Structure 1
Amino acid sequence: MAFKWRKWNNILHRDLGYLAFGLSIVYAISGVAVNHAADWNPNYKIENTERHIKPLDSGKILTDTQIRSILNQLDATGEVNNVFYPSPEEVHIFLDDHTIELELATGHVFEEKVNERPIIYPTNFLHLNHPKALWTWMADIYAVTLGILAITGLFVLKGTKGITGRGAWLTILGLIIPVLFWILYL
């Protein structure tokens, strides 16, 4: 009995495709997000608001009670990480995901809240290899798997719709596209 290479090629392609599905979605989401980092922050949603609270005396260091009162007026929660006075008229209060800039004499408040983007932040974390260690090996295995999927995918179909027909032209086009971008940008 002859070895049925196409059958095994298709089984390998199918099974690796199933295994690579989750990582492909992670890299697809993160890839689009990171490609447009110049247009937006792909990891964090930053909200800026301006408000007013009761004015305070400028030129004095605020007590913990006064700082807590400011936070209460703004419905801000969390621990105070730091307090900074860039000038006698202004105070900056830093919380975990929140920065408050207050003009003491006017009570004018500028708030900046930073929140991780659900789904996108964790996919970027993996895609950009922040975990290092074991994840690097996982990403390498995934890259090799993509290479195998690309090669086995060439031979899934036979005949005029496969690599000897229409597939040949699409494969050539798929090779020309990155070459054109190399020529344009290198």
Structure 2
Amino acid sequence: MPKIRWRKWNNILHRDIGYLVVALTVAYCISGIAVNHINDWNPNYRITKEFISIPPIHAESRDEIVAQARASLRLEKEPRNAFRPDPSTLQLFFEDKTVSIDLPTGNVLIERATPRRVLFEMNQLHLNRPKKLWTYIADLYALALLVVSVTGLFVLKGKNGITGRGAWLTAIGFVIPIVYWIYYISF
């Protein structure tokens, strides 16, 4: 009976599945870095701010205030919503912008959000916003990464493989998140 050459099949699996997951791995890595820094910037939208002035608004009712604001700003479209976070501020929400007005001074901030092309789409996939079929694709991708990780342990043999240097590097890879988690829950 011929000897099964498991290492050959291990390396073939590692190589071929690795090729299959390259594009998604790159997308998830870029998206992961972007989303990890969500407190520093908006990874999905580029926000542009414009400051202008209009005459102060002294109307009483919300509808009158909104009407005066729209007239002063020459806004033809109805806002999707209008909100007064405090007595001196009016916010108008449109599909493509948000308008914040300081009523006593007439100072206006217009914020426009435009999607960051490609990064927006990568983030949507990474965060599983599409749901449905994408959930199963993401699950298959996770299983493929698991296979690539495990088969990668056995690609090399000898002092650079899992019985040598690879064992130490693998152990360090396990220790880093464990130590961090112990530290994190301790404080």
Q: Which residue of 1 aligns with 2:99?
A: 100
The alpha-carbon distance between structure 1 residues 68 and 29, as it changes in their structure 2 partners (threshold 3 A), is: farther
- Residue identity matched to 1:154: L
Counterpart CA distance in 1 for 2:46 and 2:155 is 43
CA RMSD of aligned residues (A): 3.0
Aligned partners of 2:98 and 2:111 also within 8 Å:
yes
Q: How far apart are the structure 1 equivalents of 2:102 and 2:167?
A: 67
Q: Which amino acid aligns with 2:98?
A: T
Alignment partner, residue 173 of structure 2: 174
Tell me the residue number matched to 1:70.
73
- Is the aligned partner of 1:110 residue 2:113? no
Greater Cα shift, 91-100 or 169-178: 91-100
Alignment of 1:11-50 (within 5 A): 11-50=12-51
Amino acid at match of 2:181: W
Contact 1:59–1:89 (8 Å) recurs in 2: no
For residues 93 and 135 of structure 1, the distance between their equivalents in structure 2, rounded to whole angstroms, comes to 35
In structure 1, C-alpha distance between the alignment counterparts of 2:118 and 2:81, rounded to whole Å: 32
Identity %: 46
Instruction: Report how many aligned residue pairs link the two structures.
Output: 180
Decide whether the 8 Å contact of 1:80 with 1:94 is kept in 2.
no
In 2, the alpha carbon distance for the partners of 1:167 and 1:177 equals 16
Q: Which residue of 2 aligns with 1:84?
A: 82
In the alignment, the residues of structure 1 paired with residue 34 and residue 128 of structure 2 have an alpha-carbon distance, to the nearest angstrom, of 15
Deviation, 1:79, is 4.5
- 1:58·1:88 contact (CA, 8 Å) conserved in 2? no
Match of 1:2 in 2: 3
Distance change >3 Å, CA 49–CA 28, structure 1 → 2: same
2:14 touches 2:148 (CA, 8 Å); kept in 1? yes
Alpha carbons of structure 1 residues 109 and 145: separation in structure 2 relative to 1, 3 Å: same
Q: Distance in 2 between matches of 1:39 and 1:85?
A: 26
Aligned to 1:158: 157
Letter of the aligned partner of 2:59 in structure 1?
A: G
**Equivalent residues of 1:58, 1:89 under 8 A apart:** no
In the superposition, relative to structure 1, how do residues 42 and 3 fare at CA in structure 2: closer, same or farther (>3 Å)?
same
Matched residue, 1:59: 59
User: Which deviations, in whole Å up to 9, do the C-alpha atoms of 1:70-99 show, x marking residues without a partner?
Assistant: 347xxxxx9443363749987544321212
Compute the displacement of 1:170 (Å): 1.0
Identify the residue that residue 134 of structure 1 maps to in structure 2. 133
Tell whether the 8 Å contact from 2:57 to 2:103 is kept in structure 1 after alignment: yes
> How high is the TM-score relative to the length of structure 2?
0.79
Note if contact 2:156-2:162 (Cα within 8 Å) is conserved in structure 1: yes
